[in-house]
């Protein structure tokens, strides 16, 4: 049980650091409510599951190839900058009344989280790098069946954090004014662009090193 709880905490630790997905959850939750914020987190979790599957299939050595690294950084740059600009461009149209009558599609919120996580090199480095090492050690010590249990524990931790963020963001919207809402949306958009620029710089380092 102690080890199971440790892996739940690992899932929380993976999801908790402020990053693109959390910024998008806050943005969607404030604008559209709990379900949209949760869908962003769900999309990111599905992407995490995809990489966990790749680790099981043993393809984590691909991350060591410079071309693959630069591609991931560049695609992450594109996704985050595009999402950030989209968030900024909609700030002059925000009003509390519009929030109640006009919402984005559920699919769009889900795909936003999915692609942010899928092409986030930091997420990829965790799953294909750090988790790959953890997996190898765990299989040796406990066997495959225990590994599956511990993977479930990781996803429990991630899900708990996603629900917490969705609740927080959707609760915040009840206390907002239009001006404060716009400010938060701008900060969220700039945050996403900032992460995107960071990814772009890392891509340049890989390409020109």
What span, in angstroms and rounded, lies between the C-alpha atoms of 131 and 171? 34
**pTM, two decimal places:** 0.65
Nearest to 99 by CA among 34, 148, 154: 34
pLDDT tens-digit readout, 71-117: 777 877 887 787 778 767 766 655 544 444 456 788 888 998 898 88
Q: What is the DSSP string of 122-179?
A: HHHHIIIIIHHHHHHHHHHHH-HHHHHHHHHHHHHHHHHHHHHHHHHHHHHGGG--HH
**119 vs 37: CA distance, rounded Å:** 19
- Max mean pLDDT among 113-122, 133-142, 176-185 falls in 113-122
Query: Cα–Cα distance between 190 and 27 in angstroms, integer?
Result: 11
Q: From CA 143, how far away is CA 159, in angstroms rounded? A: 25
Domain-by-domain residue ranges, the chain?
2-208
* pLDDT tens-digit map of 161-183: 888 888 887 787 676 666 766 77
């Amino acid at each position: 049980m102690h080890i199971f709880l440790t892996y739940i905490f690992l899932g929380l630790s993976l999801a908790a650091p402020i990053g693109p997905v959390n910024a998008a959850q806050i943005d969607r939750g404030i604008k559209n409510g709990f379900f949209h914020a949760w869908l962003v987190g769900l999309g990111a979790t599905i992407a995490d599951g995809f990489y966990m599957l790749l680790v099981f299939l043993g393809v984590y050595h691909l991350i060591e190839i410079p071309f693959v690294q630069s591609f991931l950084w560049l695609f992450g740059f594109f996704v985050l900058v595009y999402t950030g600009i989209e968030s900024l461009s909609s700030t002059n149209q925000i009003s509390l009344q519009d929030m109640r009558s006009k919402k984005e599609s559920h699919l769009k919120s889900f795909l936003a989280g999915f692609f942010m996580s899928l092409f986030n090199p930091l997420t990829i480095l965790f799953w294909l790098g750090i988790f790959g090492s953890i997996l190898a050690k765990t299989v040796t010590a406990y066997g495959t069946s225990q590994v599956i249990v511990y993977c479930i524990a990781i996803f429990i931790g991630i899900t708990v954090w996603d629900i917490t963020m969705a609740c927080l963001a959707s609760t915040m919207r009840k206390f907002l004014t239009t001006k404060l809402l716009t400010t938060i949306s701008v900060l969220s958009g700039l945050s996403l662009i900032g992460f995107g620029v960071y990814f772009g710089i890392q891509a340049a380092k890989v390409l020109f090193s």
